[in-house]
Amino acid sequence: MAERNKKTNRTKLGLKVLGFIFTAGGLTCTVIGSASFFSALGSGELPTLFWLLIAGLPMLTIGASLLTFGFRKELSATAIQIARAGENSPTVAAQTVREGENSPIEPAPLPEQTPKKATLRCPECGAEYDAELNFCEQCGSELTKPCPHCGKPVGAHAAFCGHCGKKI
Ligand SMILES: [Zn+2]
Ligand SMILES: [Zn+2]
């Protein structure tokens, strides 16, 4: 198998070399032939090198064919690679999606929300006050008093204790 590949490669290398020679030779002949043809047209002389153009064109064609044949495998291999790459990318995309499913993107943390405290207002002056305060910072009136049943702070004018539920 390896032997055969080697042989194929050598044949292909020969094809490539021949292709290059033919292409280069054909190109040179075509250029020289064309130059000769056009200069002959200008000067009215016989285009002595015109045959180079006639010989060069088929050589160019042969060279191009040989090159195409020599590189065909590489070309098709490249095409396959490109096709495979094309096949692979959806898989990669699918994998990415699957990974995304496994580790769902955590929703952007909402701006830190300070726990909403019930706004407490002083019954005397209406100033807001912190629930832990016993006296209003604005007017000094009593805001909370200890519950006579459980001892926890309740509003100064509360009718019932919010902690134990007993009537004050
Ligand atoms: Zn007050
Ligand atoms: Zn109580």
C-alpha of residue 118 to centroid of ligand 1, in Å: 17
Report the alpha-carbon distance of residue 143 to residue 121 in Å, rounded.
Answer: 9
- For residue range 33-55, what is the model confidence (pLDDT) as tens digits? 788 778 877 777 776 777 777 88
Report the alpha-carbon distance of residue 56 to residue 22 in Å, rounded.
Answer: 9
Q: Is the pTM of this model over 0.75?
A: no
- The verdict on 125 and 69 lying in the same domain is no
- Structural domain includes residue 108: no
Mean pLDDT for 5-17 is: 76
C-alpha of residue 166 to centroid of ligand 2, in Å: 6
Strands 153-155 and 144-146 come out as: antiparallel
- The verdict on 62 and 15 lying in the same domain is yes
Return the higher-pLDDT residue of 40 and 154. 154
C-alpha of residue 61 to centroid of ligand 1, in Å: 104
- The verdict on 93 and 124 lying in the same domain is no
C-alpha of residue 137 to centroid of ligand 2, in Å: 24
**What's at 53, amino acid-wise?**
L
Domain that holds residue 144: 117-168
**What's at 147, amino acid-wise?**
C
C-alpha of residue 160 to centroid of ligand 2, in Å: 8
Single out the residue in 102, 131, 156 at which a domain terminates.
102
- The verdict on 55 and 136 lying in the same domain is no
Half-sphere exposure of 37 (CA within 13 A, CB side): 11
Looking at the structure of the chain, the number of domains it has is 2
- Structural domain includes residue 3: no
Q: How confident is the model at residue 58 (pLDDT cuts 50, 70, 90)?
A: confident
